[in-house]
Structure 1
Amino acid sequence: MPRPVAGVAVLLSTALLVATACTGGADVPVQPHRTVNIGFLAPVSGPVATVGTDTRRGAELAVEIVNGRYPIPLPLAKGAGLPRLHNARIRLLVADTHGSTTRGAAEVEQLVTDGQVVAVVGGYESAVTEASSARSEKLKIPFVNGGSSASSLTERGLDWFFRTGPSELDYGRVVFSMLKERQSMGTSIRRIAVVHTDDQYGNDGAAMIKRLASHVDAHVVADVAVESGTEGLVDPARTVAQEEPDVVLTLLYTAQALALQESFRSLAHRPRALIAFGGGYADPVFLREARAGAEGVCSRFAWSADLAERNPTAKAVAGLYRKRYRAPMNDDAARAFTAVMTLAQAINDAGSRRPADIRSALVNTDVPGRDTIMPWDGVKFDDNHQNIGARGIVEQVHAGRYRLVYPFDVAQAELEWPMTSDGG
């Protein structure tokens, strides 16, 4: 029997609180036969717990909107519940992976056997998502992921795994497109250094960067892998500094992202440019703890608060998120929100609780961009179940917060290159 997540009773009571969200602010209990159980995986404890909390909140908000009535132009927002299932409500069962591959897989097993879920959403670390979705594949349960980016996840030939967010290759294309445009402005980008975690997320990303480097006639002059639990990065930082790269590209989790910044500072080295492929640089903890040292750092994202201000639907959802959690919606929350909304629409389209019917509905999903909160073309899966409508953008830290700097035609702030010397 898989180990419970902080106690099955706590898990179920939390899920019931989400399931009873309804109209007018009143809590009306929903009968079990009127609910549809879905599981949600997140690292809500451990070294990236803040990210796990953000993803859980995004998922909870999506469920609240589906279960209630909201004047937001999103599918399933205006009516309570799933109309093709007699207005059944969704019940979200949250399971804590703690960033562990074995625990993530065990939680999927428990969600299916004990929680009777019809599908699983979530995952954060790509390695955890790989193991968890492999278990759901054996159980023939749909797994919808929004936050893991390793390209290999949708190259395994799985029948039950779907990804709504961009792959690392999608993100790589937008980053290298920005680099190419900078080159056309006279910026030298010949030498690239890569610092990455020695796991699926980092190694897949580093391999992708090496493939795309030729697009800007550049060479990877340093490829530095660090164990995901490593916190002291002076030696890797020194290796990078000695190569004097034109740009440093990183794939690191929060502790390593902070350690690299501190190591560069201790060496009195300031990279000309540092562009992160998400990970710890997207964690609010990074901005809070790195402070001035974060100025000028870039990161790729799938969500932009700047663009949300120009999209009435995204702005309304972000406002509701802030009201509920007293914090701004961020990239991790937005991707989890979108994954849950996509699954909810598929369940409704299927008009069934049968996992096989839900899988078929996911295969045929075609959600236009206007029906999402993301700056995407929409949600439509290719033969590998990768969303072909997902897009990436690049933001840079200006005055302590990320601002949209690429694509240049929709930028809300000017890309600073080289990076500001603050904190160096």
Structure 2
Amino acid sequence: MPRPAVSTVAVLCSALLLTSACTGEPVAKTRATVAIGFLAPLSGSSATVGADTRRGAELAVRIVNEDLASVPLPLGPGQGLPRANHPRIRLLTADTAASGATGAGQVRHLVSDQGAVAVAGGYESAVTRAAAARAEELKVPFVNGGSSAASLTERGLDWFFRTGPSDLSYGRVVFSLLKERQSEGTAVRRIAVVHMDDQYGNDGMSMIKRFASQIDGDVVADVEVGAKSTDLSGAVEEVKASAPDVVLTLLYTPQALALSDDFHAASYEPPALMAFGAGYADADFVKREGSDAEGVCSRFAWSAELAVRNPAARAVAALYRTTYHRPMNDDAARAFTAVMTLAQAVDEAASLSPADIRSALVNLDVPGRDTIMPWDGVRFDDNHQNIGARGVVEQVQQGSYRLVYPFDVARARLRWPMS
């Protein structure tokens, strides 16, 4: 009978928690590591966002690996994963370069060449779609926190899980705000939409049309822009001609910046602009646009102003600022949560078998107090969408995003019109 490959022996030993049957040494003397892949756009137009997500992922790994009793999260105290004799996590970060083909290739490289037992991360929905398909082929869990296209969890995938809200969840909170404005007598019926011509933008457009009926809304402009578009003056003219009550956007950073610049160049400002994250959540947007960003609203999954109410979120945000000399933001928080969720599943499985980790994810039930997010917790439905995820709306006021909705937890009053 031929001997198994060395890598197979290593995995089997790890799956058996490195007992003396494999090592010949007592378990207490072993020091194992668990390799987890992480996908991020570290180059190209979304590189600043990719850097934020990488920092969030690395902080989650640090909290697991080090004994940080001051962080009141399940894996904060003690070193490593306790159920598996405290192995530490080794994070393998790979650049997707905002390309679906590259993202899929990186999944194969992380798993087949570098020994990752699972993958986390992902940002652009089209890239995540391709990466998820490759993870499905390889039968390894993929936990995503940063891609919102609803179709990602509606494809019947066995190995893909999303911790963050989908655009359906975000749509509910945005249109709930619009409906409340309408009930106060504000005109919000005429809706202009500017969106990417990709998975994220097209799924979002379908969601907006679905929710518009709740406010008797009419989409008076449906403007698609390409991934390489940097001149949106034509889009501005189309939006302006439609005389909207509100503009909704689904744009990445270059297009968000271009739209803002071209609005300013045309001396046009809509009554309200509400973004579905992406480029408007990039720290570079507010920094580069300055006063032109004032009044812009965006949906988020994380709020620094809500974090102060949660001991775990407060501790993690403080550690993030100390470590990276900048405030934690939405992209970092969503990546942190995806990696922490995956770490908890590996710990629950007490195994390096991808199938066991998947089973642990299916059965995971994390209460909201054990996350840093303003959610009900992490619990996946049959489509592997986290049903505990929630969205909030923030508005740029005096150079920073402030929490304005839901109104019962708001820290600033919504400005409508924008100025």
TM over 0.5: yes
C-alpha distance in 2 between matches for 1:118 and 1:289:
39
Cα distance, 1:310 vs structure 2:
2.0
**Cα offset for 1:229?**
1.2
Query: What CA distance in whole angstroms lies between the structure 2 residues aligned with 1:32 and 1:115?
Result: 21
In the other structure, the counterpart of 1:22 is none
Deviations, residues 128-174 of structure 1 (Å, cap 9, x unaligned)? 00000100000000000000000000001000000000000100000
Task: Find runs of 4+ consecutive structure 1 residues off by over 2 angstroms.
Answer: none
Name 2:9's counterpart in structure 1.
Answer: none
2:320 maps to a residue whose letter is: Y
The equivalent of 1:393 in structure 2 is 392
Q: Equivalent pairs: percent with the same residue?
A: 69
- What letter matches 1:330 in structure 2? N
Task: Report Cα offsets for 1:367-390 as digits up to 9, x if no partner.
Answer: 000000000000000000000000
Q: CA deviation at 1:73?
A: 1.1
Distance 2:91 2:364 in 1: 21
For 1:99, what is the secondary structure of its paired residue?
coil
What do the CA deviations read for 1:89-124 (whole angstroms, capped 9, x no partner)? 000000000101000000000001111000000000
Q: Is 1:321 matched up with 2:320? A: yes
Q: Under a length normalisation based on structure 1, what TM-score does the superposition of the two structures give?
A: 0.91
Q: Paired residue for 2:43?
A: 45
- Mind listing any 5+ residue stretches in structure 1 that lack a counterpart? 1-30
Which amino acid letter does the alignment assign opposite residue 174 of structure 2?
Answer: V
Matched, 1:225 2:234: no
* Match in the other structure for 1:113: 112
Q: Return the alpha-carbon distance in structure 2 between the equivalents of residues 361 and 310 of structure 1.
A: 29
Q: Matched residues in 1 for 2:180 and 2:227: separation?
A: 33
Cα distance in 2, alignment partners of residues 359 and 310 from structure 1: 32
Q: Deviations over 1:62-81 (max 9, x none)?
A: 00000011121101100100
The answer for the alignment partner of 2:337 in structure 1 is 338
- Partner residue in 1 for 2:19: none
Specify the code of the residue in structure 1 equivalent to 2:323: R
1:201 aligned residue:
200
Q: Deviations over 1:190-236 (max 9, x none)?
A: 10000000000001001100110000011000000000110000000
2:299 matches 1:300: yes
Shift of 1:33: 5.7
For 2:236 and 2:30, the matched residues in 1 are separated by 55
Give the structure 2 partner of residue 127 of structure 1: 126
SS state of the match for residue 91, structure 1? Answer: strand
SS in 1 for 2:192: strand
Which digits, 9 at most, give the CA deviation of each residue in 1:219-275, with x for residues without a partner?
000000000110000000100001110000000001100100111111111110000
- Rounded to whole Å, the distance in 1 between the matches of 2:182 and 2:238 is 25
Could you tell me which of 55, 58, 64 is aligned with 1:57? 55
Alignment of 1:2-81 (within 5 A): 34-70=32-68, 71-81=70-80
Matches for 1:168-207 after TM superposition, within 5 Å: 168-207=167-206
CA-atom RMSD in angstroms: 0.9
Separation in structure 2 between the aligned mates of residue 357 and residue 209 of structure 1, nearest angstrom: 38
Aligned residue for 1:77, secondary structure, equals coil
> Structure 1 residue 32: deviation in Å?
9.3
Q: What is the correspondence of 1:132-171 to structure 2 with a 5 Å cutoff?
A: 132-171=131-170
Q: How far apart, CA to CA, are the structure 2 residues paired with 1:114 and 1:336?
A: 23
Partner of 2:97: 98
Per-residue Cα deviation, 1:301-325 (whole angstroms, up to 9, x for no partner)? 0000110122221111001000110
Letter in 2 for 1:53: A
> What amino acid sits opposite 1:397 in the alignment?
V
Give the residue type in structure 2 aligned to 1:103. T
Amino acid paired to 2:33: T
**Larger radius of gyration between Structure 1 and Structure 2:** 2
Alpha-carbon contact 2:53-2:335 (below 8 Å) kept: yes
Q: Work out the CA distance in 2 between the residues paired with 1:141 and 1:149.
A: 21
Match of 1:383 in 2: 382
SS of the aligned residue for 1:249 comes to strand
Equivalent residues in 2 for 1:220-369 (5 A)? 220-369=219-368
C-alpha distance after superposition, 1:380-423 (max 9, x if no partner): 00000000000000000000000000000100000000001xxx
Paired residue secondary structure (1:90):
strand
Partner of 1:12: none
Equivalent residue letter for 1:244:
A
- Paired residue type of 2:198: D
Q: Write out per-residue CA displacement over residues 345-388 of structure 1, whole angstroms, 9 at most, x where no aligned residue.
A: 00000010100000000000100000000000000000000000
What amino acid sits opposite 2:115 in the alignment? Q
Q: What letter corresponds to residue 177 of structure 2 in structure 1?
A: M
- SS of equivalent to 1:396: strand
What is the match of residue 403 of structure 2?
Answer: 404
User: In structure 2, how many angstroms separate the alpha carbons of the residues matched to 1:408 and 1:223?
Assistant: 29
The alignment partner of 2:267 has SS state of coil
- Tell me how far apart the structure 2 counterparts of residues 296 and 32 of structure 1 sit (CA, whole Å): 55
Q: Is the 8 A contact 2:310 2:369 kept in 1?
A: no
SS in 1 for 2:34: strand
CA distance in 2 between counterparts of 1:141 and 1:226 reads: 34
Deviations 1:1-35 (A, max 9, x none): xxxxxxxxxxxxxxxxxxxxxxxxxxxxxx99610
Tell me how far apart the structure 2 counterparts of residues 208 and 304 of structure 1 sit (CA, whole Å).
Answer: 23
